[in-house]
A and B are shown apart, each in its own frame.
Chain A
Amino acid sequence: NAGVTQTPKFQVLKTGQSMTLQCAQDMNHEYMSWYRQDPGMGLRLIHYSVGAGITDQGEVPNGYNVSRSTTEDFPLRLLSAAPSQTSVYFCASSYWRGQGANTGELFFGEGSRLTVL
């Protein structure tokens, strides 16, 4: 019953530090995505992927990098953390049926709370 697993759950960084948020899913989902959630802003899409080797930008991609080397894993990298990146980050996956199909039901991890000082 693992579903979507995110690590770490909490992290404090100093401005300029780099780090990677890990996301793994065991449902064999092709579609994976990263969102950030800020008060009053809802969930905003950072990057998404429709399969291994394929990634694309969402609404707020600046300052973040992603890669998708396997179906299971979709790490999010912060290259040089800024206070504006203080947020709760959610990874989500879905069973995507292919080109032209809807995203479908998203399964979310429990979130990673990041504070940048």
Chain B
Amino acid sequence: TQLLEQSPQFLSIQEGENLTVYCNSSSVFSSLQWYRQEPGEGPVLLVTVVTGGEVKKLKRLTFQFGDARKDSSLHITAAQPGDTGLYLCAGDGNDMRFGAGTRLTVKP
């Protein structure tokens, strides 16, 4: 059983559409991170959220940390083919545990 559940597992959309992916847990985390992974490479950090209710923006990407610090969402506005990849959330504590990821494909 995954400590962090991500949904949807797969998402295929057209360029220009908006999307939201979710990361949920029954555990409380002191912080939560979002990573993006491209084929043949290791994950790369996008953002860290620390405070319950926190919202962070990274260009067209908006990240939100739930008030109870158990869940998070990633919203992408006007998706582009360059956004294609595997999006992973990770809960930070004594060690880092990852969700299974959402594999996003943005078609031109």
Q: Contact at A111–B42, with CB atoms within 8 Å? A: yes
| Partner-binding segment picked from A12-20, A62-70, A71-79, A99-107 | A99-107
By beta carbon, the residue of chain A nearest B29 is A102
Inter-chain CA distance A111–B2, complex, in Å, is: 22
Q: Contact at A105–B95, with CB atoms within 8 Å? A: no
Question: In the complex, which residues of chain A have a beta carbon less than 8 angstroms from the beta carbon of B40?
Answer: 110-111
Q: Contact at B92–A42, with CB atoms within 8 Å? A: no
- Cβ of A114 < 8 Å from any Cβ of B? no
Q: Contact at A42–B99, with CB atoms within 8 Å? A: yes
By beta carbon, the residue of chain A nearest B100 is A42
Question: In the complex, which residues of chain B have a beta carbon less than 8 angstroms from the beta carbon of A90?
Answer: 42-43
Which of chain B's residues 76-90 have a Cβ closer than 8 Å to chain A? 88, 90
**Residues on A close to B: CB < 8 A?**
4, 33, 35, 40-45, 48, 56, 58-59, 90, 92, 102-106, 108-111
Question: In the complex, which residues of chain A have a beta carbon less than 8 angstroms from the beta carbon of B94?
Answer: 103
| A106 with B45, Cβ < 8 A, contacts A40-B9, A42-B2, A42-B88 known | yes
Q: Contact at B42–A102, with CB atoms within 8 Å? A: no
Q: A102-B31, A106-B96 provided; 7 other pairs, C-beta below 8 A? A: A42-B101, A43-B88, A56-B95, A58-B95, A90-B43, A102-B30, A105-B33
Question: In the complex, which residues of chain B have a beta carbon less than 8 angstroms from the beta carbon of A42?
Answer: 2, 6, 88, 98-101
- Cβ of B44 < 8 Å from any Cβ of A? yes
Q: Contact at A45–B95, with CB atoms within 8 Å? A: yes
The listed residue (A33, A59, A102) touching B92 by CB distance below 8 A is A102
Question: In the complex, which residues of chain B have a beta carbon less than 8 angstroms from the beta carbon of A4?
Answer: 42
The listed residue with most A CB atoms (<10 A of its CB), out of B30, B31, B42, B48, is B42
